[in-house]
Chains A and B, each alone.
Chain A
Amino acid sequence: MQMLNTRTPRPARRFWHGARSSRLTAIAILLPPGLILFSLFVILPLTESGYYAFFDWNGYGTPEDYVGLRNFERIADHSVFHTAVGNTAKIIAVSLFIQMPLALFLALLIYRKTPTNALFRLIFFVPYILAEVAAGLIWSFVFDGNYGVTASIARSMGQESFFILADRDWAFVAVMTVIVWKYFGFHMMIYIAALQGVPEDLIEAAKIEGAKRPQIVRYVQIPQIRPAIIVSAFFAIIGALQVFDVIIPLTNGGPSNQTQTIVTYLYSFGLTRLKIGFGSAVGVLLFLAAILVAVFYQRLFMKGSRP
């Protein structure tokens, strides 16, 4: 209604008369495709997984075998699920305490707009745009005990070939290396964009007052890009919850399920065995985890960060 222009009252009235039917037509034509598509392929499956989770069902016919909370109990008792949750927690920890500081450090080195910096920015961003599966395959070659880097290093040290991806203790370390390699560039890009937005005056003022570079970083730049850091941490956590593609070519969850994540767990114990009810229960837990993260995050940071 704010479009009504007071200076042209007469055409405006006619205008609104015809406008009503035009508005309804527009709503009726433009909105439903998106609404239907979204409801059918996002909201409906989501609610259905909340329903299927209470059944023992192989996906054929209709779910009839109501089992109450037994799927959830089974998940809670399954040691592989514990490993999967633990691995997800490890990914979060590595993202927050290794990947993000590394990304911030590099961003501080190359945020200024020079040709050299642009080149490095480009290089560091390449892993991110690579498909996860391709990244996983490349690294499974690198880690191959007969061919890759680990093989060369082991050989030069006079050791036998070492299959890191088949080692129960080290396989997940290898997986996390790949994850850092793949995603640090993304976080770096967020920081660079934020650092370029920090007013140059602030930095100049700090310099005039005798601040050294580390002090400028600590007391001017990092506080200024706090919102960007909060956002990138959020991405890191939500991303950790959905790690899947990288794992499949690297270890496929093995050796003996040591490198499962929540989603690979869902895939290998729910989907490939067609235990739709069980898998849906895992999906529900994943959903709850994501919602919890989002809500807590909103409470903790988002409000406080608004000036």
Chain B
Amino acid sequence: MSRAAFWRNLARVTILCVVASFVLAPMLATVLGGFKTNAELRMNAFALPQDWNVSFYGSILVDPAFWRYLGNSLLISTGTVVLTLLVGAAAAYVFAQIRFFGSRMLFSYMLLGLMFPFATAILPLFIKVRDIGLLDTYWAVILPQTAFGLSLAILLFRTFFDQLPKELFEAARIDGCGYVRFFWQITLPLSTPILATVGVFVFVQSWNNFLLPLVVLNSREAFTWPLGMMQFRGEYVTEWNRTLAFVTLTILPAIVFFLAAQKYIVAGLTGGAVKG
């Protein structure tokens, strides 16, 4: 029996290792590729480099454009997170806490964003952003991203706010605390778990977003890192090692951060679907 269990477990781990190598091999080749000369890369994509050539990584790290791309992405993502949390939580609070005529209808209206892909509206969105004069600004990405993220954010926030004890509010009311102050001073501080979930989720989406920045950002000054990466790839078409170094440098910090926060990412992904 235990011997059978041993073989079963061995088979299981073998399968897992095979899949894991399928997952990791391309990424490993990418990291290693950044250390190789092009000629060496051509000979063997997966072997360890003969000399660990750091000049390709180094030349990217001293390139101000690289840091500007990352900075732009960071600013846009942070802006989107802050705006989504504030605006989304405020609206969800009204839906959860205050009963008024048309509340249910407005709530359903705000959830419409869950129904369709972002790309359906991309052309009119481009025209709108251009006509408002926002092209090549951070707001061109932040505002539409926030608007499209609101549906999921409001859904998750509202579910959470509904579960907060009602007695809290009654007590605060008797002490003369109004709705707005209650939201700011009590609801928000009590909601850190859901704020973190939505915040991390929105951040990841924004950080990885490609289509919207591609459409509304034309100037290299404003490029986010995915656009910068494609630009870089275009400039060094024949030099894979530089591109691979660039990819590695941009994804490594993200992977570390995202793995640390994966709990929130999964919660955000599954939360909306299960409820809706």
Contact = CB atoms under 8 A, between A and B. Distances in A.
B160 interface: no
Contacts, number: 281
Contact of B100 (A23, A33, A34, A152): A23
Q: In the complex, which of the residues B122, B150, B244 has the most CB atoms of chain A within 10 Å of its own CB atom?
A: B122
A241 B117 contact: yes
B147 A266 contact: no
Given A25-B178, A37-B87, A294-B115, A131 B251 contact: yes
Given A42-B112, A129-B262, A22 B180 contact: yes
A266 B214 CA distance: 14
B46 interface: yes
A41 B148 CA distance: 8
Nearest to A262: B119
Interface residues of A, number: 95
Contact of B119 (A132, A134, A266): A266
Interface residues of B, number: 96
Given A116-B13, A133-B210, A148-B45, A37 B124 contact: no
A131 B208 CA distance: 5
A245 interface: yes
B61 interface: no
B210 A3 contact: no
Q: In the complex, which of the residues B86, B115, B117, B243 has the most CB atoms of chain A within 10 Å of its own CB atom?
A: B117
A49 B117 CA distance: 13
Q: Is the interface of B mostly helix, strand, loop or mixed?
A: helix
Contacts of B112: 42-43
B57 interface: no
Nearest to A133: B226
B42 interface: yes
Interface in A213-250: 227, 231, 234-235, 238, 241-242, 244-245, 248-249
Given A22-B180, A31-B91, A245 B210 contact: yes
Interface in B160-177: 166, 169-170, 173-174, 176
B225 to A, nearest CB: 8
A20 to B, nearest CB: 11
Given A37-B143, A52-B124, A231 B113 contact: no
B126 interface: yes
Q: In the complex, which of the residues B25, B44, B173, B243 has the most CB atoms of chain A within 10 Å of its own CB atom?
A: B173
Given A181-B22, A263-B117, A34 B90 contact: yes
Interface stretch (A77-85, A90-98, A186-194, A202-210): A186-194
Contacts of A29: 90, 180
Nearest to A143: B26
A40 interface: yes
B173 A15 contact: yes
B166 A3 contact: yes
B49 to A, nearest CB: 14
18 contacts: A25-B178, A26-B94, A26-B179, A42-B148, A46-B124, A106-B19, A116-B13, A129-B204, A137-B229, A142-B26, A189-B266, A190-B270, A193-B266, A227-B274, A267-B211, A287-B117, A287-B120, A290-B116
Question: Which 4 pairs, one residue from A and one from B, show the smallest C-beta to C-beta distance?
Answer: A26-B179, A41-B147, A34-B91, A45-B121
Interface of A: 1-3, 5, 8, 11, 15, 18-19, 22-23, 25-27, 29-31, 33-35, 37-38, 40-46, 48-49, 52, 59, 106, 109-110, 116, 120, 122-127, 129-134, 137-139, 141-142, 144, 146-149, 151-152, 181, 185-186, 189-190, 193, 227, 231, 234-235, 238, 241-242, 244-245, 248-249, 262-263, 266-267, 270-271, 276, 279-280, 283-284, 286-287, 290-291, 294
Given A3-B166, A133-B230, A147-B41, 17 more contacts: A8-B174, A22-B178, A31-B106, A33-B87, A46-B121, A49-B120, A52-B123, A124-B23, A129-B204, A138-B247, A141-B29, A141-B240, A193-B266, A193-B270, A244-B119, A263-B119, A280-B123
